Chains A and B, each alone.
Chain A
Amino acid sequence: MPLNTEPYTGWGRVLTGTGGRLRPEKTAGLKHIDLGPAVGALRSYGDAALNEKPSVDMTRLDRMLAFDAETGVLEAEAGVPLTTLLDTFGPRGWMPAVVPGTGYATLGGAIAADVHGKNHHAAGSFGQHVLSVRLIGADGVAREVSETAEPDVFRATLGGMGLTGIIESARIQMMACPSMLVDVHERRMPNLAAYMEAFEDSTATFSVGWIDATGTGAKLGRGILEEAEFATRETPFWKPRKPPKPVPFNAPGFALAAPVVRTFNQLYYSRISTTGRKPTKPIAAFFHPLDGLIGWNKLYGKRGFHQFQCVLPTESAALTLDAMLREIGQSGLAAPLAVLKKMGPGRAGPLSFPMAGYTLAVDFTNRPGAAPLVNRLIAQTVDAGGRIYLAKDSLAEAQQMAAMYPELEGFRATLRALDPAGLFETDLARRLNIRGMQ
């Protein structure tokens, strides 16, 4: 099978994978290749899916294999994009129990990063709805792992960032999808305190907030909270969404300069009236608002961008968020895309990101000052007893790993038994010394 040696990047386009990719189009193809770590849809931002040696692109092994309409249990190959599951089963009353902010993420990528969605506070993480995984180990053989068969390996695979092996296929428990529409309630949040109070009071099934990361002073932490419930009335008719439109070229450097972003954010905030707004939206538009614009990461220009995403424990979250938002606001480096969300405790594996508390995600164009700022934010996260999301990171350092991921040692022990030679090691694992061999 030919190796495509073209360099490739994650969604942030700052770091580059140099080892090339193999791309089997048939299951049998997986048996005749030199093994390397898996690559999904490359919707992780940093170097999670990058490698200096050959990797295995799983996007063509994307078939749904079996579905039980009584129980909502689905078996599918790892390369299937979550949006396909939503489109196929939504109209029949089922959907993945957890969907991240992009529907292009693959089933394998969603398991490997143990992704969270807008219902994390109640539904937990993606991995908590995985029943079993067919995992290709370092010996090249695929085997079924689950809560009963090799439970340590199973759990290490949920959120294990591909380091335990290649996920060939998986069985997941889907959740009921009573409607293809959601009733959304959008409200202005004038500042951080009001915002967090609203999250604490929220009883909504889905909740997420846009935050104006350029806000300073009295406007610090202002934003728009979106809460949503499945629409209860009959879906009048359901049209498949319009085909997405591509961003044709890299945006010029000034497109996201500080004054532009401040103006944009002001308009974006004011578009919601003081009394709020209650639109009804297709679920795909609510879950994946940016998927209609293919390659929107090019809007950050060819130098790429960083996303900083942390989760902070509930007790100290207000204080830490306040300090972080001050620093971000003063820097003038933030892009419009910034998200605040309250998380529940749900997590599936030792390397899973979620913890009970607040998660903040902010994009920064990769220009001078951005990386040092993100590094300071990461240090603040570590000090606060929080953690950063490995699927988004490209800047953290190895010595910060253990503090953020207390179960790291156990994960390392599992890896030592599973993959002593490091066949599935990625650039991320090398940078953060996740395997603990350096």
Chain B
Amino acid sequence: MNETWIILGASSAMARAFARDMATQGDALLLCGRDTADLERDAADMALRGAAPARVFAFDTRDPESFMPILEAGRASKGVLNVAVFAGSMPEQADIDADPSLVAGVVTDNFTAAAAFLMAIAPEMEARGAGVVVGIGSVAGDRGRLGNYVYGAAKAGFHTFLSGFRNRMGRSGVQVLTVKPGFVDTSMTWGLEGMFLVASPSDVAADIRRAIKKRRNVIYTPWFWIGIMTIIRTIPERIFKKLQI
């Protein structure tokens, strides 16, 4: 029996790569995002790859009204229902420093919108007693850094939410997977200075697929970031606060 995937932030290159894999398996896709005209092109592509079917929904993290039709379509789906959250935003920290009113939006895009959506769909998934929730966090959420601490804080909030949500959903047989990517070659990082060990979106998608199969809880992708972040997390705060990393 084929499954249904709600993809929030479907225009992200990571989301595209993941959704294509699911399309090739013959799953049904609900592609959710802001540029619906462009997502229609993705839907056509996914259908040609085997999705059955791929549909497009307007989705804006800042507009909870936009969640409704997606939630309804999710509830109307048959079989196993899954959700993958790729939506997120990372304005320059300097811009946020200059205009603190941006903080709320960053928290909404990376954390609270997804939390609200997931809690709204949770009863349906619990009732079905199966399914997967994939939440894209970030290594940036593991420790607040000078360069992007508001984004990092929002991701940390999302990680903590997913941890508790896992505790809840696991009781009904729903897997909740937290994905912490390092640097990935997407529009978020294109042209940024100081990128290294940049992974391709399709590598990340493959890691997510494997983690779902193995029913993992939390993964770093690529895997070596677990080592890098272990080191970064163990640096004592009195030293860390002086670092420029």
A: residues with CB less than 8 A from B are 2-5, 23, 25-28, 60, 63-67, 77, 88, 243
CA of A26 to CA of B190, assembled, Å: 14
Q: Which residue of B lies closest to A5 (CB)?
A: B191
Q: Which of B11, B187, B190, B192 counts the most A-chain CB atoms under 10 A from its CB?
A: B190
A179 to B42, CA, bound (A): 28
Q: Are A25 and B44 closer than 8 Å at their CB atoms? A: no
For A5, list chain B residues within 8 Å (CB).
191
B41 touches A65 (CB 8 A): yes
Given contacts A26-B38, A27-B38, A28-B37, contact A67 B191 (CB under 8 A): no
Range of interface residues on B (Cβ < 8 Å): 10 to 19
CA distance A147 to B152 in the complex (A): 54
Give 6 pairs: A residue, B residue, CB < 8 Å, sorted on A. Answer: A23-B187, A25-B13, A27-B38, A60-B13, A66-B44, A243-B206
Within the assembled complex, what's the spacing in Å between the Cα atoms of A311 and B29?
48
Q: Which of B34-92 contact A (CB under 8 A)?
A: 35, 37-38, 41-42, 44-45, 48-49
Across the interface, which residues of B come within 8 angstroms of A88, CB to CB? 48-49
Question: Complex Cα distance A288/B12, Å?
Answer: 30
Contact indicator B11/A26 (Cβ below 8 Å): yes
Q: How far is the CA of A66 from the CA of B187 in the complex (A)?
A: 26
CB-based contact A63/B42 at 8 Å: yes
Would A63 and B35 count as touching, CB distance under 8 A? no
Given A63-B42, A63-B44, 8 more pairs with CB closer than 8 A = A4-B190, A4-B191, A25-B13, A26-B11, A27-B37, A27-B41, A64-B44, A64-B48
CA distance A88 to B206 in the complex (A): 18
- Whether A64 and B45, one on each chain, are in contact in the complex, defined by CB atoms closer than 8 angstroms, is yes
A356–B35 alpha-carbon span in the complex (Å): 48
**Bound form: Cα–Cα A3–B45 in Å:** 27
Give complex CA distance A215, B13 in Å. Answer: 48
Contact residues of B between 91 and 150, Cβ < 8 Å to A: none
Q: Contact residues of B with A, CB < 8 Å?
A: 11, 13, 35, 37-38, 41-42, 44-45, 48-49, 186-187, 190-192, 206
Distance in Å: Cβ of A241 to nearest Cβ of chain B: 14
- B210 → chain A closest CB, angstroms: 12
Query: A65–B45 contact, CB under 8 A?
Result: yes
Q: How far is the CA of A66 from the CA of B186 in the complex (A)?
A: 25
Q: Complex Cα distance A356/B49, Å?
A: 38
Report yes or no: B48 in contact with A25, Cβ–Cβ below 8 A. no
Q: Tell whether A77 pairs with B35 under 8 Å between CB atoms, given A3-B191, A23-B190.
A: no
User: Looking at A4, A26, A64, A66, which has the most chain B CB atoms within 10 Å of its CB?
Assistant: A26
Residues of B within 8 A of A67 (CB): 48
Given the interface contacts A65-B45, A67-B48, A88-B48, does A25 sit within 8 Å of B192 by beta carbon? no
Closest to A57 in B: B190
CA distance A29 to B192 in the complex (A): 18
Contact of A25 among B11, B49, B191, B206 (CB under 8 A): B11
Which chain A residue shows the least CB distance to B12?
A: A25
Q: Are A28 and B38 in contact (CB under 8 A)?
A: yes
CB distance from A262 to the nearest CB of B (A): 38
Closest to B43 in A: A63
> What 5 pairs between A and B have smallest CB-CB spacing?
A2-B191, A63-B45, A4-B191, A26-B38, A64-B48
Residues of A within 8 A of B190 (CB): 2, 4, 23
CB distance from A294 to the nearest CB of B (A): 11
Q: Which residues of B sit under 8 angstroms from A26, Cβ to Cβ?
A: 11, 35, 38
Q: How far apart are B44's CB and chain A's nearest CB, in angstroms?
A: 5
Kindly list chain B residues whose C-beta atoms are within 8 Å of the C-beta of A27: 37-38, 41
Q: Determine which residue in A23, A63, A64, A66 has the highest number of CB atoms from chain B within 10 A of its CB, and name it.
A: A63
Q: Which residue of A is nearest B186, CB measured?
A: A25
A88 to B35, CA, bound (A): 26
